[in-house]
Structure 1
Amino acid sequence: MHDIRIIRDNPAAFDAALGRRGLSALSPQVLALDEARRATILAAETAKAEQNAASKEVGAAKARGDDAEFERLRALVAEKKGELARLEEEAKARDAELRDLLLTIPNLPLAEVPEGADETDNVELRRWGTPRDFDFAPREHYDLPAARPGMDFETAAKLSGSRFVLLRGAMARLHRALAQFMLDLHTTEHGLTETMTPVLVRDEAMYGTNQLPKFAEDSYQTTNGWWLIPTSEVTLTNTVAGDILDEGALPIRMTAHTLCFRSEAGSAGKDTAGMLRQHQFEKVEMVSITTPETSLEEHERMTRCAETVLERLGLPYRTVVLCTGDMGFGAQKTHDIEVWLPGQNCYREISSVSVCGDFQARRMNARYRPAGGKPEFVHTLNGSGLAVGRCLIAVLENGQQADGSVHLPQALHPWMGGKTRITAQGVLE
């Protein structure tokens, strides 16, 4: 959420930053609500002062026997009391209206973020690895003989409908191994604290990480009001909601492997084949809580953590910085890491790593106390480290052989019980 004082002080700069996202100027609407709210608060304070003054005079009028003045003042006190109640209610409503508006306005991009309208304007930063030359036509993951026995979309559809998958045997083992490999790498080498979080959260948690109110249709809500998390960014980031942390406790670096749920409301007809875009999936998430001075450095560090997973698995990738028109709602700057999928003959996103500044911290009221100073808002960052299902796809497609089998990355062998390949019949050996 945005600091109203910054909008008041420099509305032109605020609108210019929104313009980089392709949005029209919003400061006039924001400031009109803010002015109305402040005027109502001032009127309430004035009414309160007049009520207090009249209350003091009531006793004096009664003491000197001035019945007429006593009745007038008593009526004035009652009038001001009613006026004060009305103004306080009006101020509360205008405050809520301003907050509701601010909650729908996206974060402002950093000056270094490239200008652009959509993903075609993203800027490539680097590439790692060389896509393999196949002497046969590579297949997509769901069409691989090694995967078909253990990747059951038909039974999942019978149970739950479209965009679900049931994994069996080698596919289930590989999926589990990937998540364990990622967690072990992040906790033992990258200094992240493994965390197990709920997957059901209250409204406040979804507001805190900007899934609400704007993206309610993209998430699932239970009949008793809980939300199924779209990512453990929600739970990990909200662990510091309402807190005032000691500066010495920062940075806080966390990782979690959880189920994630997304309705994919805006993706009808997109990536419907296979496991690429599912309603239920698993992800190893990374979240960092930092001081403002270190958040950009932490952004680079988190990006390297995600890239390292792919490098250890031998999966070619490229890293891009998203342009202003392709960036997520809560981000100031985002790196997307895209893994090479030979079955599609293209790079596809497998991780987004974003720095959010104090945008989420203001929504959560998450602060820290600098040494000898007043509390300030923390900065928050989040990123996939990685999406497990998409990593499974990449391992299968990059490791596929002409006979329909799949060779597994050497880094995974310890997590696969020493097994090194999946046969064309779907058997680990």
Structure 2
Amino acid sequence: MLDIKVVRQDPEAVAEALKKRGFTFDVAQFVALDARRKQADVESQSLLAERKAASKQIGALIGKGMSVDDAKAQVNETLEKIAAQIDDLTGQAKQVQLELEDLLLGVPNIPAEEVPEGATEDDNVEVATWGEPTRLAFPAKDHVALGEALGEMDFETAGKITGSRFNVMYGNVARMHRALIQFMLNLHTAEHGYSEIYVPYIVNRDSLRGTGQLPKFEEDLFKLEGDQGYYLIPTAEVPVTNVARDRIFEDAELGDDGVKFTCHTPCFRSEAGSYGRDTRGIIRQHQFEKVELVQLVRPHQSDEALEQLTGHAEKVLQLLNLPYRKVILCGGDIGFGARKTYDLEVWLPAQDTYREISSCSSFGDYQARRMQARWRNPETGKPELLHTLNGSGLAVGRTLVAIMENYQREDGSIEVPEALRPYMGGTEVLTD
């Protein structure tokens, strides 16, 4: 959530900054609501002063010859009227405050200055490439054809069990999927300094509000039946980042470069806005696996932390020798709560293009303000908002797709990347 003090100071500047996203901030509505809140505060202060003055009138009335009981009765009548007015104004102020909060909960983060202009993913800007796109000496098969030919990907059975956009994997393909998870977790913990964390796969509304999925994106979520207000997680970002909700970290707890968590979870998304995109295979499913990277850092560290976190996700692709490119998202494509995002896009030979495999984002204090995630600044002794970051390190299913397509052989077998072989008992090739 944006800092209301910043918005109050110059709402027109905030509206102008949000235009980069294609978002229209209703300045008039905000100003009107804030004026109502301010007026209620002014009137409340005036009534409090009247109550204080009225309380002093008992002695004055007695001094003029009125009995003690009559003096108290007259003043109490006045105090009761003032109290009723104060209660009414307090209720009005609370209502206006709720309306202000609802308004700001629906306002996205302000993009960083270096975020490029643009409306769609076509306007994202490439900043780096790694490796050369794989060029096969034979027609490339996609992961669906490869997996089904091996007898180890079964979309028909998944459809019978559940429905569309689910998958059943068998044998070595299932084993490689599991191996990728272990490979990523070991890399991020042993070499990149993350602490592994296990979290619930079901969260409450407060958690989703804290990271920005609610209230605006409820249609993208799977809500459980019942009155508990529970949802399946769309990403480990939600439960892991909410570890810091309503908490104050002492400076020593942050170490030199903040708190760093890595977490493997399934993820569940309704894909309400995908409109039939990527219906073939496991590129876009309702249930998929991801290894997430989350960092909680001091404000002055967040820019460097984003570069570092993105590099950690890149390292997975490099060790697997998968060609990819890195792009910075434009204002129209950046996520709701993010101030800056890098996407990593892996090369898929069957599509002859790069496809997203990781999004790495810095949120500034946007999520932390919603969650009240803070640290104690040792220079002032006062709590201040943390900065939060997260990224996929990586999306497991899409990494499996990239390996199958980039490492395929003409006979339909699939070579196992060298870095992954120790996690597969030394297996070098997947064959039927």
Given the two structures, how large is their TM-score scaled by the length of structure 2? 0.95
Aligned twin of 2:48: 48
Q: 1:301 aligned to 2:299?
A: no
Q: 1:159: how far off?
A: 1.5
Uncovered stretches (5+) of structure 1, i.e. residues with no partner: none
Aligned twin of 2:163: 161
Aligned twin of 1:247: 251
SS at match of 1:220: coil
Q: 1:324: how far off?
A: 0.7
Q: 1:368: how far off?
A: 1.1
Partner AA of 1:157 in structure 2: G
400-409 or 139-148, which deviates more: 139-148
Given the two structures, how large is their TM-score scaled by the length of structure 1? 0.95
Aligned twin of 2:318: 311
For residues 41 and 282 of structure 1, the distance between their equivalents in structure 2, rounded to whole angstroms, comes to 50
- Aligned pairs for 1:22-37 (under 5 A) are 22-37=22-37
Does the aligned pair in 1 maintain the 2:368–2:388 contact within 8 Å?
yes
Partner AA of 2:310 in structure 1: T
Aligned twin of 1:20: 20
Aligned twin of 1:237: 241
Q: 1:324 aligned to 2:331?
A: yes
Does the aligned pair in 2 maintain the 1:146–1:405 contact within 8 Å?
no
For residues 134 and 276 of structure 2, the distance between their equivalents in structure 1, rounded to whole angstroms, comes to 30
Does the aligned pair in 1 maintain the 2:320–2:419 contact within 8 Å?
yes
Partner AA of 1:26 in structure 2: D
SS at match of 2:82: helix
Aligned twin of 1:181: 183
For residues 364 and 216 of structure 1, the distance between their equivalents in structure 2, rounded to whole angstroms, comes to 18
296-305 or 25-34, which deviates more: 25-34
For residues 70 and 196 of structure 1, the distance between their equivalents in structure 2, rounded to whole angstroms, comes to 64
Does the aligned pair in 2 maintain the 1:405–1:422 contact within 8 Å?
yes
Q: 1:339: how far off?
A: 0.3
Q: 1:58: how far off?
A: 4.6
Aligned twin of 1:204: 206
Q: 1:259: how far off?
A: 0.9
Within the candidate set 385, 402, 418, 1:410 is matched to: 418
Q: 1:149: how far off?
A: 1.3
For residues 50 and 203 of structure 1, the distance between their equivalents in structure 2, rounded to whole angstroms, comes to 42
42-51 or 227-236, which deviates more: 42-51
Q: 1:142: how far off?
A: 0.6
- Aligned pairs for 1:275-424 (under 5 A) are 275-373=282-380, 374-423=382-431
Q: 1:68: how far off?
A: 5.9
Q: 1:235: how far off?
A: 1.1
For residues 12 and 264 of structure 1, the distance between their equivalents in structure 2, rounded to whole angstroms, comes to 34
SS at match of 1:318: strand
Does the aligned pair in 1 maintain the 2:154–2:167 contact within 8 Å?
yes
Within the candidate set 267, 272, 285, 2:279 is matched to: 272
SS at match of 2:280: coil
RMSD value over aligned CA atoms? Answer: 1.6
- Aligned pairs for 1:118-157 (under 5 A) are 118-144=120-146, 148-157=150-159
SS at match of 1:109: coil
For residues 146 and 405 of structure 1, the distance between their equivalents in structure 2, rounded to whole angstroms, comes to 12
Aligned twin of 2:98: 96
For residues 67 and 418 of structure 1, the distance between their equivalents in structure 2, rounded to whole angstroms, comes to 96
279-288 or 237-246, which deviates more: 237-246
Equivalent pairs counted in the alignment come to 424
For residues 110 and 16 of structure 1, the distance between their equivalents in structure 2, rounded to whole angstroms, comes to 13
Partner AA of 1:65 in structure 2: S
Aligned twin of 2:270: 263
